[in-house]
Amino acid sequence: MDELDSEIIRLLQTDARQSNRELARQLGVAPSTCLERVRALTRRGVIRGYHAEIELGALNRGVQAMVSVQVRPLSRSVITTFKDSVSRLPEVLSVFVLAGGDDFLLHVTAQDLDHLHAFLLDRLSQRKEIVGFRTSVIFQRVHNTVLSRLPDVAAEG
């Protein structure tokens, strides 16, 4: 990726709805050049899609939590089955497979604390592969919406 690609990515993260013509104007390149660069970034998998970021409260999901989960037996089939099944639950926003003391971290959302409690008791605690979980309620979230490439670290010798 060169500087033009990096700037395209930055501008699209800021506003993915802008037209190719507007994007090209901001970059100081021809619209055809801009369009080909965006297409190449998409083909290479750098740009994976476009989405609308929705306020969770507007969807009656006012409470968020992170749930650390331990499962047993620790095997590929248990990990895959658990990951696939919990990712389909409507309360689950993200599933992270971890190394360390916990096996999974679930980012979940619910209408309120009572519904979060019901989710934990009725959905998670009933699963036979779960040997333990801890829940941390999220009070506030800061989310970086514009990412840039980190510099390569030169090998020390």
The yes-or-no verdict on residue 48 having pLDDT over 60 is yes
Cα atoms found within 13 Å of the Cα of residue 155, Cβ hemisphere only: 1
Mean local confidence (pLDDT), 87-95: 97
Unique residue bearing structure tokens 């801009």? 34
Cβ density class 83-93: b for 16+ within 10 Å, e for less: beebeeeebbe
The yes-or-no verdict on residue 99 having pLDDT over 70 is yes
Rounded Cα distance, 50 and 52, in Å: 7
Domain 3-43 - what CATH class? mainly alpha
Model pLDDT, residue 126 = 93
**Sequence ranges of the domains in the chain:** 3-43, 56-138
Model pLDDT, residue 156 = 52
CATH number of 56-138: 3.30.70.920, 3.40.1190.20, 3.40.50.1370, 3.40.50.620? 3.30.70.920
Q: Is cis: bond before 73, omega within 30 of 0?
A: yes
**CA nearest neighbour of 106 among 87, 125, 131:** 87
**Could you tell me how many helices (H) and strands (E) the chain has, helices first?**
5, 4
Q: Is 135 helix (H, G, I), strand (E, B) or coil?
A: strand
Averaged pLDDT of the chain: 94
